């Protein structure tokens, strides 16, 4: 399958991530802290801005902006 994509700098992205078997791993505050740390680490190497985020026990929703 061939996808058509426009490659430009910057853009907004919405994505959802669901945990394996819908395990409620983000109900634990420590796991949410690990998630924050992971995002901060990635943001240092690949800068982006989190416009909106929803962290639920078994999934995440994010809107990100890259420049």
For the entire predicted model, the pTM comes to 0.78
For residue range 28-67, list pLDDT tens digits in order: 999 999 999 999 999 999 999 999 999 999 999 999 998 8
Spatial distance between the Cα atoms of 43 and 11, rounded to a whole number of angstroms: 15
Q: Is residue 5 part of a domain?
A: no
Q: What angle do CA 41, 42, 46 make, to 5 degrees?
A: 135
Contact by Cβ (8 Å): 50, 64: yes
**Domain membership of residue 59 as a residue range:** 11-66
Q: What is the pLDDT of residue 4?
A: 78
Q: Is residue 2 part of a domain?
A: no
Quote the number of domains for the chain: 1
């Amino acid at each position: 399958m061939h996808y058509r994509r426009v490659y430009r700098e910057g853009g907004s992205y919405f994505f959802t991530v669901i945990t394996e078997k819908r395990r409620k791993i983000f109900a634990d505050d420590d796991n949410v802290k690990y998630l924050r740390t992971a995002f901060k680490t990635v943001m240092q190497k690949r800068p982006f801005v989190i416009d909106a985020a929803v962290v639920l026990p078994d999934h995440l929703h994010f809107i990100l902006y890259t420049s």
